[in-house]
Structure 1
Amino acid sequence: MAQAARSAEEIRRKYGLTEESLWNRLKRNWTGYLFILPTFVMFTLLFYIPMIQGVWLTFTNAQLGGAGTSNFIGLDNYMWMITNDLFVFALGWSIVFVFATTLLQLVLGMLVAVLLSEIKEGPREWLSAIIMSPYFSAPLAGGVVWMWFLSPDFGFMNMFLSDIGIQNPPTFLSQGLWPYVSMIIAQAWHDFGYAGIIYSAAVINIPSAQYEAAALAGAGRLRRFRDVTLPHLVTPTIIVLALRTAWNIAEFAQPFELTGGGPGTRTMLLSILTYEVAYVRLNFARAYTIGMVMIVLAMGAAIFYVTVINEEEDLYL
């Protein structure tokens, strides 16, 4: 331990990394702190203070719009949440939805990026814009598109299956496992373009000399993909995985437009349940309590992202 301490001290002296007090760092970098001060103030006013207020609300019986009184009730909202069957179901289904959607977005994004890298530069930009256009559309508009596509009454899919001779086509938004599959596919379709953009940037920047060396060594396409492409996609994968996980947890507009949590409560996500509790039942305190679970899940993804990135960086030190 003493040897490690001495070595660390020697390294700091060698590179001029002397210990500084907080006041000395402030005086030396005051211009930088001055520039970030407005951002810090806005984050405090618009994010940190509302979050702290929200945490406090979870211990009260606050109603939306100020209806009734707001009194301290301790852990009653948390007890209601963990004993509520609908919340338990929504939590489980949300985890499945987020995992399946994120995984599908990763796979589709990687596949699109690799395929686009094989196309010439001119047509590649046009195809990229067309393939990734769903990501730039409003989620609510995506829900309307998939509703038109899968509706049992006027949907294209049911009419197409009937035209090719399939009797009694499945009801994609209300029957069996189809509503769950439909929501996952629709969400993956809307957001896989984000993964595709990140992967495309990574794939294009892979040195061509590495592919040429692998080809000279007798590696086929699949082996070149495994030995050359995949190692360069580790960091982008971690970034996309963490960010898409956090965003899919909070996804609301498209699932709400597609099924609204129904039929009944069969496809209830945490985001839809939060909306129902807050704006239908007007119980804002309980809605924020559910929202806290979503925040914890998103923060867990962020912690995972930071931890894995740090571990990977250590491999190159």
Structure 2
Amino acid sequence: MNPRPRGGYNARRRTSQTGWLFVLIPVLMISIFYFYPMVQAFILSLKSGRGSNLSFVGADNYIRLFSDANFITAVKNTFIYLIVQVPIMLVLAIFIAVLLNDDRLKFKGFFRTAIFLPTVTSLVAYSVVFKYMFGPDGIVNKFLLNLHLIQDPIQWITDPFWAKVTIIIAITWRFTGYNMIFYLSSLQNIDKSVYEAARIDGAGAITQFFKITIPLLKPIILFTTITSTIGTLQLFDEVVNITKGGPGNATMSISQYIYNLSFEYTPDFGYAATVSYSIVLMVVILTMLQNKIGGDKR
């Protein structure tokens, strides 16, 4: 019997080696630029000191979080943004997506582009525009005064309550269109015959929305809720450029506090890394909760 030819084996081996080479390169890059900095940041969070003069303190930085008034204030502010803004933004995104998915609507391309455009605007540029719009002599106060809805200009930037409202309006304006795209793409994948069958059975528009649209959008709603939660916990640009965390620390976010610890106050990079890892912990806990509540029980 002739020996088994090895040409096919060698070809498969070369193909396998080539495939592993293509996989190895991105794995190596991800490890160097993603996982290695994460490990180094965690090691840094176990140290404390001024500037680069750091010494190992173990879990002291993590214990310090619970007695740090500035950190607690930043967490409270961030969770106010999260609890108020994220539901409003997602409801608006779903509502707009349903409207733009209507076949009877004209100029749909224009409206979709207009609503999505805020997402691609510069964070700094739009934050500065909002700062001037909501200033004491800004267009928002002038508009409300002309309509006689207010007697005196609202201190949108310098009042603790209204400053938070301004931040919430700004991030809602920017990211509603981003989430709307996800819902719109999902709506376009729903078979029209499902709605036609529901109309034949006598279901109205509201019933169709709650009994068909929302259940079919459930995976996307969960996805956008998680991504919006992560984005809000990392909120930085709007707070820094609109209110600078003020008045006082009334609008300071966790990310701004990390920046302050690193560059505004006496540099304490170890404690700043600890606060950064607190965001990681919050993201993990909230993501698990959201998956538990809204995920597929199967």
| Shorter-normalised TM range | 0.7 to 0.9
Bigger drift between 76-85 and 299-308 goes to: 299-308
Residue 312 of structure 1 aligns to a residue whose secondary structure is coil
Choose which of 185, 203, 228 in structure 2 pairs with 1:201: 185
Spell out, residue by residue over 1:168-225, the C-alpha distance to the aligned partner (whole angstroms, 9 max, x if none).
1321122252111221121111111121000000111111111111111111110111
Partner in structure 1 of residue 276 of structure 2: 291
Partners of 1:90 and 1:270 within 8 A in 2: yes
- Matched positions, count: 284
Cα distance change, pair 74–134 in 1 and its aligned pair in 2 (3 A)? same
Residue identity opposite 2:210 in structure 1: R
Query: What TM-score do you get using the length of structure 2 for normalisation?
Result: 0.88
Spell out, residue by residue over 1:120-172, the C-alpha distance to the aligned partner (whole angstroms, 9 max, x if none).
587212210001111111221221121121011x3111122233343213211
Q: Give the whole-Å Cα distance in 1 for the aligned partners of 2:268 and 2:59.
A: 15
Cα distance change, pair 209–138 in 1 and its aligned pair in 2 (3 A)? same
Partners of 2:239 and 2:252 within 8 A in 1: no
Structure 2: gaps (5+ residues): 1-12
Cα distance change, pair 167–301 in 1 and its aligned pair in 2 (3 A)? same
Cα distance change, pair 120–220 in 1 and its aligned pair in 2 (3 A)? closer
Q: Give the whole-Å Cα distance in 1 for the aligned partners of 2:232 and 2:20.
A: 34
Choose which of 37, 41, 46 in structure 1 pairs with 2:24: 37
Q: Give the whole-Å Cα distance in 2 for the aligned partners of 1:305 and 1:253.
A: 26
Residue 131 of structure 1 aligns to a residue whose secondary structure is helix
Q: What does residue range 15-34 of structure 1 map to in structure 2 within 5 Å?
A: 32-34=19-21
Spell out, residue by residue over 1:50-85, the C-alpha distance to the aligned partner (whole angstroms, 9 max, x if none).
111111111212444x3xx22112233223321111
Partners of 2:160 and 2:250 within 8 A in 1: no
Q: What does residue range 1-317 of structure 1 map to in structure 2 within 5 Å?
A: 32-64=19-51, 66=52, 69-119=53-103, 123-152=107-136, 154-165=137-148, 166-281=150-265, 282-304=267-289, 312=296, 314=298
Cα distance change, pair 32–300 in 1 and its aligned pair in 2 (3 A)? farther
Cα distance change, pair 303–61 in 1 and its aligned pair in 2 (3 A)? same
Bigger drift between 85-94 and 118-127 goes to: 118-127
Q: Give the whole-Å Cα distance in 2 for the aligned partners of 1:59 and 1:36.
A: 33
Q: Segments of 4+ in structure 1 off by > 6 A?
A: 26-29
Cα distance change, pair 62–36 in 1 and its aligned pair in 2 (3 A)? farther
Partners of 1:140 and 1:253 within 8 A in 2: yes
Spell out, residue by residue over 1:83-127, the C-alpha distance to the aligned partner (whole angstroms, 9 max, x if none).
111111211221221232221221111011000011458721221
Instruction: Identify the structure with bigger relative contact order (alpha carbons < 8 Å, sequence gap 6+).
Output: 2
Query: What TM-score do you get using the length of structure 1 for normalisation?
Result: 0.83
Partners of 1:132 and 1:193 within 8 A in 2: yes
Percent identity between matched residues is: 26
Q: Give the whole-Å Cα distance in 2 for the aligned partners of 1:199 and 1:272.
A: 31
Q: Give the whole-Å Cα distance in 2 for the aligned partners of 1:265 and 1:135.
A: 27
Partner in structure 1 of residue 8 of structure 2: none
Cα distance change, pair 313–202 in 1 and its aligned pair in 2 (3 A)? farther
Spell out, residue by residue over 1:232-264, the C-alpha distance to the aligned partner (whole angstroms, 9 max, x if none).
110100111111111121121122111111011
Cα distance change, pair 75–184 in 1 and its aligned pair in 2 (3 A)? same
Q: Give the whole-Å Cα distance in 2 for the aligned partners of 1:242 and 1:162.
A: 39
Q: CA RMSD in A?
A: 2.3
Partners of 2:97 and 2:181 within 8 A in 1: yes
Partners of 1:243 and 1:302 within 8 A in 2: no
Partner in structure 2 of residue 7 of structure 1: none
Residue identity opposite 1:159 in structure 2: K
Residue 70 of structure 1 aligns to a residue whose secondary structure is strand
Partner in structure 1 of residue 4 of structure 2: none
Residue identity opposite 2:209 in structure 1: F
